[in-house]
Structures are given as structure tokens and as C-alpha cells.
Chains A and B, each alone.
Chain A
Amino acid sequence: MIEIIYMEDGVREHPRSRQILARFPQAKVLPCTHYKEVFNPSGQSFRLQKKKPALILARQTSKLIHPIPPSYGVGGTRNFYFSHLLNCLYDCRYCFLQGMYPSAHYLMFVNFEDFEEEIVSASQNSEEPSWFFSGYDCDSLALESVTGFADHFLPFFKKLDNAWIELRTKSVATRVLRDREPLERAVVAFSFTPQEISTQLEHGVPSVDARIRAMLQLAELGWKIGLRIDPLIDCTDFKDRYAKLFENIFTDLPEHTIHSVSLGAFRMPTGFFKKIEKHYPEEPLFASDLESKGGVIAYRENTEKRLKHTCFELLEKWVSPSKIFSCET
């Protein structure tokens, strides 16, 4: 639970800050002028802070939505991401956030209304539908009880006819979705690795079975489901483990509820990888047969092809190939 809340002086009176403070009456509030004083300094240990992250409440004053490169794989022709929250409840060893941010504190931007303005503006700039991805710098749902993000943004997106939202998650905290009518232009995307991999690398994440149950509930209620088989981890019994995972996911999931399935092999910007490797020198994943190419650490080309090809073949049994997308390295 949150024990320390750092609060920018400028958001002290913001209604969303007040709501959050009311949820954590025991938390100690420490004032700061700007979140960067707490979040950005060098000489912090992401690994150690993960033991007990604090919450930082701040206002995002720089760019609020960002274009997504085509290699992302899913979405439309106009894709953006936006981050109301930096960092994640979970502690996945393959996650690039560990290398991207100097701090593991949860940094929440309370000025949702400013995000909305930019989203409206971007979606009105073209007749093409715009896609907005919310789970890039955090899990979209895992900290819903703190942020109220989905509860706020789903009604907002419901009113936009030209905008899609993808919530990407490993959480089973889906009540915020179950308690409302499914949105026509929303995808709830669940990320999976086989349970054997998840146990070793996805610390604090609900079990694969629990997530599948949460996903099936939403599908039954009419929510469109995305499957993010990303990152693919080259491992012993690769084919058997992923075959079992897909069987568990797809056996009870009606095909018409599946919006998309994306595949992406483990990859990471080299600079992030080096930092993370320093934090976790004992992690076997980082001793895998990887190579650095074009500023990215990834499996060798043949390995990546083999992993993806195997999964494509396994997936074709369950889902139309037109719904399967590859995220490029």
C-alpha cells in the first residue's frame, strides 16, 4: 500500500489529488516543487524502490500524447500513446520501464482534462480513426483503485466517434469494465506468457489462469479482447508451453470477441538493457543468446523468426490469420 505520497505544490488543490489523498489517509504527504526533483535524480535504485514504491502526484505540462511507430503492429494508421501514469504495480523482469526511468515510484499525472483536450484535438485532425494506447508506460488497470483512470476515460472515449482506446493489462481488477456497458471502440488487451515463464519473470502478476478467467468474463459481457503474446521468451519446451497457453486462452474464448493477437519477441533498447542488467546481474534471462543491432538488444534473427513462426502456426488453429499481427524488433 502507498505509505508516502510526494505532491507537487501545484496540484495540492486539484480535486483528483484530494480524492487520492482521501483514499490514503495514513500516507505521509511530502511536498515538492516539481516531480522531477523526486523522480529524475541519478543515483536511485529502481530495484530497491520496487520494494516499496511511493506515489508522486504531479501535473504533466509537456507533450501529453505521442505518436507510435508503425512497428508497434496493432491499431490503425494513426496511433498514439498517452501516459497518465509512469511505472507499474507489477515487476516484470523483461520490462523496459526498469531501464527507462531512474525511479520506480508511481508517477501519476492528475490533469486528465489536459490529456482529453489533446486526444480530442488529435482525433479531429483526420477522418481516419485514431488509436490511443494507454498501457505503454504502465498497466492500464492494475492501479485503477488509486488512479480512477479507466473510470474517467471510458465515458470520455464513449463520446468520441473517431477514436479507439486500447487498455493493456495483466490485471484481474476488471470491475471498472464489468460495471459498465462495453464500449464499441475499446479493446481490452491482455498480455500473456506461459505460466512457467510468468512465475519466473512476472513478479506480482496474477496467475495466467486468473487472467484468463478475467478476460473470459469481459468477452462474455461483449468487450473486444486483444491478446498480446509479447514478449515471446525463447525457452525450453517453447512449443509445448505456448501450445498449452494458447489452448487455455482460446478454448473458451469466442472468435468473434477477439479483436487482435499480436506477437513480439523479447527486445529492448540497448541502453535500457545495460541498465537493467546492472540492476539484476543474477537474472538468467539477460544471459540468453541475444545480440545488439541498431540500438536494440534482441534474439538473433533466426531465433526470432523461429519463435514467431511457431506461434503463428499454433495460433492459426484458434484464430483467423487476419487477426494476427507481428510487432517488429
Chain B
Amino acid sequence: MNFVIAFPGEAQPIIDFYDLQKVGKQPFPYYQIDNHKLVISGMGRERTAQAVNYLKNESSTPNQAWINLGIAGHGSLEIGQPFLAGKIEDDLSENCFYPPQIYDHTFPVTCLKTCSQPCSFYEPDLGYDMEAHAFYSTVLSVSTRELVQVIKIVSDNPGSPLASFSPKEVPRLIENHLETIALLVNQMEKTSLTIQLEPEISNTYEKVREIHHFSSTRSHQLHDLIRQAHALGLYLGEIESIAQSAKDGAEVISSINLWMGPSRQFR
């Protein structure tokens, strides 16, 4: 999971919950343990986009899970109520995002508007923040939309406007919902794994390419064949043996094809 969070007060409960370790200070405070990463972006669109790009560069694996977490204003929900953004608008852009809602959770789903300035006017059924739109638009180049979600916890509403909100309350607002947030995190991570290519396929591919030279076209053919062999339940170690016996890349391709032929019929 990649967390992108604007302020230290919002991040600390997550850092504590997952026991994240600080691994960098510049250009953004960066925490990590195993596959959980967290970056503290600072306020606003620009810093958020930069922080997302920074975190993107920390891993080359596509389709990881991403969450933007933080506090937000809301026109209808109670203070302390967490919600998921089902639609993300922006006061500077016509472009909206609709994060697909495929997970089981208890959060209300509502619209969220990213604003350039803190907002003291509240429309019903609409949340207000300063980061989500930039977060979403920047993450999309490396992850499918289902794996990018925005969770906000209401800090101010028409009955208790932003001016009366104390930042000291932020950690408590987040802490109250760590268990439910963790349930969503867990689902998103599992979902991410379902669309990652089996490492065995890449490993075999790399090993065979170390044995022979393959043109660009044949490299694609080789990768497809290894993937298909895996789909058919064949032992991929046999492909390495075939490669070792073959005289060149062309023969590797034709020999794998011959070997796979009888197994291709659907069962």
C-alpha cells in the first residue's frame, strides 16, 4: 500500500498502526515497512503531485494500491465520520474522477471537491479537501483506477466550521477508524496481487534470455509462450531445458511450441 498524506498529524496514526519506519526526509518525509509505504506531501495540489511522483519512483511494480488519506470538510456528514470519495471534482478543472467502488466496507461514499483554498461554504452531500484530485490524476499512470482510493475523515461541517477546528484533534479523528481503514487496505492489497503477473513467468523469461539472443518480436513471442505454458499448468523448468538444448532463439520458440502443442486443448 502506498499512502499519500498531507500532514504529519494525519500520518502519525497510520505510521504507528503499521509500525512504519522513517527511511527518508527529503524531498518528502518517507516511511516504509515491507510493502507499506507512506509519504507526507504537505498541503495542496502541487505538493501532492510531487509526493506521488516521488513515491512512484520508489517502485517499478505497476498496479500497486494507493490511498490518499486525510481530513476534509463535508456538507452533510458528522464530524469524525470517515467517507470514501466516489466522485472527485476540482474547482480548477472540469475533469472529474470516479474511483470504482469494488470493495466491501462500511464507509459512506460521497462526492469530494478539491479546492485551491480552505473552504468555509458547504454544499450538501459534498466533501472538500485540497489534495485528492491531484493525487488521483497523478497516480493513474502507474495504477488501475480500482486500486486508487481516497479516504477522508470529516473535520468540519456547516454546524462546526473549519475556523473552530483545532489541528490537535486530527490524530484522534484518524485513530478512531484505523481498524476499518486497515480492512480496506487489506482488500486493496489482495486485489492488487490478483492482477500481478506470476513472478515465475518473469523469472523464466529472464533466464531464457540470458541463454540466447531474441529479437524484439521473438522476445514477445517467448514471453507469450511462457505465460501460456504457465496458464496450461506446465512445468516452466522444462522451458529452461529446451532453451539450453536449442541452438538459437528461433529454435527455442519452435521447440517450446512443439512441446506445448498437445497440452493446448482445453480440458
CB within 8 Å for A30 and B109 given contacts A287-B231, A288-B265: yes
Q: Are A236 and B102 in contact (CB under 8 A)?
A: no
Q: Say which residue of A31, A54, A200, A289 sits within 8 Å of B264 (CB atoms).
A: A289
CB within 8 Å for A284 and B98 given contacts A28-B108, A28-B109, A45-B195: no
B42 within 8 A of A: no
Interface pick from A36-44, A123-131, A184-192: A36-44
CB within 8 Å for A43 and B101 given contacts A28-B109, A289-B265: no
Greatest chain B CB density within 10 A among A31, A279, A281 is at: A281
B45 within 8 A of A: no
A52 within 8 A of B: yes
Q: Say which residue of A4, A200, A287 sits within 8 Å of B109 (CB atoms).
A: A4
Q: Say which residue of B194, B201, B231 sits within 8 Å of A284 (CB atoms).
A: B231
B23 within 8 A of A: no
Q: Say which residue of A31, A41, A284 sits within 8 Å of B232 (CB atoms).
A: A284
Chain A residues lying within 8 Å of B87, measured Cβ to Cβ, are 30-32
Q: Are B86 and A234 in contact (CB under 8 A)?
A: no
Q: Say which residue of B100, B101, B227, B264 sits within 8 Å of A44 (CB atoms).
A: B100
Chain A residues lying within 8 Å of B86, measured Cβ to Cβ, are 4, 28, 30
Q: Are B98 and A47 in contact (CB under 8 A)?
A: no
A49–B103 alpha-carbon span in the complex (Å) = 10
Q: Tell me the minimal C-beta distance from A228 to chain B in angstroms.
A: 19
By DSSP majority rule, is chain B's interface helix, strand, loop, or mixed? Answer: mixed
Chain A residues lying within 8 Å of B147, measured Cβ to Cβ, are 48
Cβ proximity bits B125-165 to A, threshold 8 Å, 1 near / 0 not? 00000000000000010001111000000000000000000
- Across the two chains, which residue of chain A brings its CB closest to B257? A289
Which residues in chain A, 280-318, are within 8 Å of chain B measured between CB atoms? 281-289
Q: Are A45 and B264 in contact (CB under 8 A)?
A: no
Chain A residues lying within 8 Å of B227, measured Cβ to Cβ, are 281
Q: Are A45 and B146 in contact (CB under 8 A)?
A: yes
Chain B residues lying within 8 Å of A48, measured Cβ to Cβ, are 100, 102, 144, 146-147, 191, 194-195
Q: Tell me the minimal C-beta distance from A298 to chain B in angstroms.
A: 14
Q: Are B195 and A236 in contact (CB under 8 A)?
A: no
B266 within 8 A of A: yes
A233 within 8 A of B: yes
Q: Say which residue of B100, B228, B266 sits within 8 Å of A235 (CB atoms).
A: B266
B178 within 8 A of A: no
Which residues in chain A, 88-114, are within 8 Å of chain B measured between CB atoms? 103, 105
B199 within 8 A of A: no
A52–B101 alpha-carbon span in the complex (Å) = 7
Chain B residues lying within 8 Å of A4, measured Cβ to Cβ, are 86, 101, 109
Q: Are A286 and B96 in contact (CB under 8 A)?
A: no
The 19 sampled A-B contact pairs (Cβ below 8 Å) are: A4-B86, A28-B108, A28-B110, A30-B87, A32-B87, A45-B145, A47-B195, A51-B102, A234-B266, A282-B198, A282-B230, A284-B266, A284-B267, A285-B266, A286-B228, A287-B229, A287-B260, A287-B264, A288-B265
Q: Which residue numbers of A lie inside 8 Å of B, CB to CB? A: 3-4, 6, 28, 30-32, 37-38, 41, 43-45, 47-49, 51-52, 54, 103, 105, 197, 200, 233-236, 279, 281-289
Known: A281-B230, A285-B266, A287-B260. 18 other contacts (CB 8 A): A3-B101, A30-B86, A30-B98, A31-B87, A32-B87, A37-B98, A41-B145, A43-B140, A45-B146, A47-B195, A48-B102, A48-B144, A52-B102, A103-B100, A281-B198, A281-B227, A283-B231, A287-B229
